[in-house]
Amino acid sequence: MPELPEVEFAATRLREAVAGRVIARIDVLHPSPRRHLPPAARRAAAGQAIVRVERRAKIQLIHLADGAVLEVHFRMTGDWAFSRVGDPPPRFERVRIETTDGVCVSLVDSRAFGLMRRHAPGALVLPPIGPEPLTDDFTVAAFHTALARRRGPIKPALLDQKLVAGIGNIYASEALWEARISPSAPAHTVSRARVERLRDAIRLVLERAPAARYYARDGAPADGAPADGAPADGAPADDAWRVYGRDGHGCHRCAGTVTRLAQAGRSTFYCGRCQRR
């Protein structure tokens, strides 16, 4: 699933492609996104200039001149493809936005889980979202207080967007390794000093995140990962990751071995030797 760095990268590309342009039409090419973007919503967006594109957590927001907002969520395998009107459509195109000057932006999504929907002017209400981790709002005090209310393991807690925005499976595993914290540690037992270390680790892994996406255009992860987003057994480890996808390989920091653990239906990777509860 795209996480904060990937969605920020996608939003930047979209902003560069469409900011200031006028929407000529929007076509929905699959039944799934049609539920969220009915014909009336598409007609209302036509003729509107795109004022700006912003990201909040994993959500992209396309602001239109009349005050309406197009909300976009990639979910598992969504991405943008850019072309000119009249070019052959990209594979797995689900929604197409055409501008009056011939730019074509396609929401491509092999699993068709992604969504795009229009919010009328003044009607945008996002779900509760925690602070952006790369801003000053992500304080140690607030982070420690939020974790102190959680009785479950810390790794699944980090995936809750109400706790901190944009963190997903990969960067949660990577940050816990950087902070030397076991993914199984009960969230409420983590000391303030370790929470500070984790806050700094989250920022570190996000800031050094690779620009390239970690799955291929057709939705199949580049390393042959199965549906839950975890690399397949025996797949070569990506040099960008310290633990993610490296189960059975040696830890980059100590003499331990990276282990794979199932948590909340997702694959977690950690070193049991240097990541302590």
pLDDT digits 0-9 by tens, 79-111: 999 999 999 999 999 999 999 999 999 999 999
- CB-CB contact of 46 with 108 (8 Å): no
Q: Are 73 and 58 in contact (CB under 8 A)?
A: yes
Q: Which CATH code for domain 4-119?
A: 3.20.190.10
For the question of residue 2 being annotated catalytic, the response is yes
Active site residue 58: yes
User: pLDDT (tens digit, 9 = 90+) per residue, 118-164?
Assistant: 999 999 999 999 999 999 999 999 999 999 999 999 999 999 999 99
Choosing from 42, 55, 58, 194, the catalytic residue is 58
Please state the rounded mean pLDDT for residues 166-174.
95
pLDDT score at 226: 33
pLDDT digits (tens, 9 = 90+) for 184-221: 999 999 999 999 999 999 999 999 886 555 443 334 33
Find all residues with CB under 8 Å of 192, minimum gap 6, and list them: 140, 144
Asked about 155 being catalytic, the answer comes back as: no
Contact 161, 129 (CB under 8 A): yes
DSSP code per residue over the chain: ---HHHHHHHHHHHHHHHTT-BEEEEEE-SHHHHTTS-HHHHHHHTT-BEEEEEEETTEEEEEETTS-EEEEE-TTTEEEEEEETTSPPPTTEEEEEEETTSEEEEEEETT---EEEEE-TT---PPP----TTSTT--HHHHHHHHHT--SBHHHHHT-TTTSTT--HHHHHHHHHHHTB-TTSBGGG--HHHHHHHHHHHHHHHHT--SS-SB-TTSSBTT---TTSPPPTTPPPPTT-SSTT-TTSBPSSSS-BEEEEEETTEEEEEETTT-B-
Bridge partners, residue 53, by sequence: 62
CB 266 within 8 A of CB 229: yes
- 140-271 is classed CATH 1.10.8.50: yes
What's the average model confidence in pLDDT over 16-20? 96
Catalytic residue among 55, 197, 199, 266: 266
Summarised one tens digit per residue, pLDDT across range 66-87 is: 999 999 999 989 999 999 999 9
- Residue spans per domain, the chain: 4-119, 140-271
Q: Do the domains at 4-119 and 140-271 have one common CATH topology? A: no
